[in-house]
Amino acid sequence: MTNSLILSVWQSGDIGPLPALLAEDAIFSSPVADYRGRERAAHLLGVIANVLETVDQTHQWGDDRQALYAFTARFADQELQGVLREELSETGSLSHVTLFLRPYRALRAAIAEMARRLEISPPPPESVQP
């Protein structure tokens, strides 16, 4: 089974490599909003890495350019099931990452924790394209 680039970072606990995995114009589509740009996407993915516990990849489907990765994780003694969609650019960096999580009750609690953490450490502003 091929490992997800993002899930591998989340499992390692070292979020330092996140920006290098993402294309400059990467998009991260979270359950709440879309975040455009490498720095914004990396920031959100890093905060999520610090919220989720015990991330385990369970399945993988896809090809060389895009793949879906099923996983389980824990948050506040609740199990989450998720799917992460990773789309690669022609250069091999992540151009679009989409996160799906369930069940709603655990997701709602995780979203509240994310909001709290993002108040403390807001994402960088979205860059304005000329």
Indicate whether 126 belongs to any domain: no
Contacts of 51 (CB under 8 A, 6+ apart): 75, 110, 113, 114, 117
Higher pLDDT pick, 109 / 58: 58
Helix or strand or coil: residue 33? coil
What phi and psi, each to the nearest 5 degrees, are found at residue 40?
A: -65, -45
Instruction: Please name the residue that has the structure tokens 């091999």.
Output: 92
Average pLDDT, the chain: 92
Indicate whether 99 belongs to any domain: yes
Lowest-confidence region among 29-33, 39-43, 126-130: 126-130
Task: Give me 15's structure tokens.
Answer: 């979020």
Indicate whether 28 belongs to any domain: yes
pLDDT category of residue 61 using cuts at 50, 70 and 90: very high
Higher pLDDT pick, 29 / 124: 29
Task: Give me 6's structure tokens.
Answer: 């993002």
Indicate whether 130 belongs to any domain: no
Task: Give me 71's structure tokens.
Answer: 């996983």
pLDDT at residue 129, as a whole number: 53
pTM above 0.85, yes or no: yes
- What is the distance, to the nearest Å, from the Cα of residue 61 to the centroid of all Cα atoms in its chain? 17
Q: What percent of the chain has pLDDT over 70?
A: 96
CATH number at residue 101: 3.10.450.50
Tens digit of each residue's pLDDT (9 = 90 or more) over 87-127: 999 999 999 999 999 998 888 888 888 889 988 888 888 76
Indicate whether 16 belongs to any domain: yes
pLDDT category of residue 130 using cuts at 50, 70 and 90: very low
Boundaries of domain holding 58: 5-117
Indicate whether 125 belongs to any domain: no
Indicate whether 20 belongs to any domain: yes
Quick one: average pLDDT of 56-72?
95
Q: How many domains does the chain have?
A: 1
Indicate whether 113 belongs to any domain: yes
Closest C-alpha to 45, from 24, 76, 74, 14: 14
